[in-house]
A and B are shown apart, each in its own frame.
Chain A
């Protein structure tokens, strides 16, 4: 296990000890941190490893939230609903990916962006199933006091984050990860030497979808109420990109660090400047891209260990 992966596992282990130190507010932040980490780690598979600018995270998140919401309403237990939405997203994204990933660059970005719009409109219109614009109420799942509830959802999200991190680490070290790196560097050459690029890209897209959808399921059960403009918010697509850019493109450790740093910044801005919080986020994005394009990891690695690995 490489040093970066070890650091990643240690960091995740440290996050698990959060309930020892904080109350309900800290647990809420911790749950958000785990959710953001799942986003960033997942996006990193398609955006960082394969180099495809996907803006579909919000589509998967909303899909998972609504799939789980409907299933929970039908009386399924939470764990089953979350797993079913994850698997459904895996299959759907794999199939969609086979079609969408033939596009490159700008065209792929726009197609993935419009996926969010299409799903939001569909959910908005399917009033019978999803409640449409009125939103969807989700029955209480745990319901045994505020603290127990917070603890339950924190660990649910944490376990999902651990699963995501292990999968991403496995992908990074596997033949799939190597193939994706080849695709990022030169897709034409990769397919010339016999790599099935469509299959690899679809797998990456599917993997980037399934954990995000499961996180959407847990989120839906956690907040008890979802509506289309909330869960299909395009910001959910952009935030993981920003987190990954903060941490450093292509590195799972960087993605996790980026998610934590981002959450910290967001919380500070939300608390103090709620009226201009999206503007501050925009400013952060602009500064980041202009002055620190390879992220925090590159800064540290460049100084300590020489060149960063995935740049």
Chain B
């Protein structure tokens, strides 16, 4: 029964990890930028959910609808006004620039919200469901289903819509996309906006489960790294595979060697994957 419980936990957590990583993966894949602000976006989303719940009693699953457009605009402008200036520069420059932006955003959050840990506590609490001795908290279940829905929406957007196809085209071959008349600047900005929106929504969902503090942003960012590398960059299926694998490793690691070593384990796994299989589980593909 313990094995089933670990498996279920891993599946539930893995979908959340996928949701954390998917925006990061999109930006990395399409813009070729490692977006270090991602973690702070997630925390900002969590604060938004917290604020909306306390001010308007708006449940987090509705807050997603508000967070998505707000973060999209924020990300779109950030890319258009700042990142776009250095988009062709070497890795070091784009990486350091997003690090600088992250410092600003994170410090602003500490300044305005303080570094205290907060928790969004729903009243009444949702409790948990249990089936054949396997227990799953309802809030986690809701977050997971929402995360899956968001991931599915992104998949549909990339697959069906005109702009989605343009994003995939730029991802696969930038130069050919330009020749076909794709406005690359616009696509970059929209992809970054989508990445920010997904981060914001992920943050809203995380607020249901985890404590909120600006200090947690680097943990989210670390998860996004690991998921992207494990699953393979730039595909929805890769993020899901990476998320579930990471959650499984952490779950099994926490059960058998203790929770404090589980993080180490995941980063060791990251380095092993980087060296042995840098294309990830699913492989380096476009958003097919």
Contacts and interface: CB of A to CB of B under 8 A. Distances in A.
Contact of A278 (B107, B222, B270): B107
Contacts of A121: 260-261, 263-264, 267
Contacts of A238: 96, 99
B100 A285 contact: yes
Interface size class, chain B: 35 or more
Contacts of A234: 218
B86 A107 contact: no
Given A242-B96, A282-B100, A100 B111 contact: no
Interface in A151-171: none
Interface of B: 28, 32, 34, 82, 85-86, 89-93, 95-97, 99-108, 111, 218, 222, 225-226, 229, 260-261, 263-264, 267-268, 270-271, 274-275, 278
Interface residues of A, number: 41
A279 interface: yes
B263 A282 contact: no
Contacts of A100: 271, 274-275
Contacts of A124: 260
Contacts of A275: 111
A105 interface: yes
A276 B107 CA distance: 6
Residue in A118, A124, A241, A242 with the greatest tally of chain B CB atoms within 10 Å = A118
B31 to A, nearest CB: 11
Residue in A242, A275, A278, A283 with the greatest tally of chain B CB atoms within 10 Å = A278
Interface of A: 47, 51, 53, 99-100, 102-103, 105-107, 109-111, 113-115, 117-118, 121-122, 124-125, 234, 238, 241-242, 245, 275-279, 281-286, 289-290, 293
> Chain A: interface secondary structure?
helix
Given A53-B95, A117-B263, A103 B100 contact: no
A293 B225 CA distance: 27
Given A284-B100, A286-B104, 14 more contacts: A51-B90, A106-B28, A106-B91, A110-B270, A113-B225, A117-B263, A234-B218, A275-B111, A279-B103, A279-B104, A282-B99, A282-B104, A289-B96, A290-B86
Contacts of B28: 106
13 contacts: A47-B92, A53-B92, A106-B91, A114-B267, A117-B222, A117-B267, A121-B263, A125-B264, A245-B96, A278-B103, A282-B103, A283-B104, A285-B103
Contacts of A103: 274-275, 278
A131 to B, nearest CB: 14
Contacts of A122: 264
Contact of A289 (B34, B97, B104, B260): B97
Contact of A106 (B32, B105, B107, B270): B32
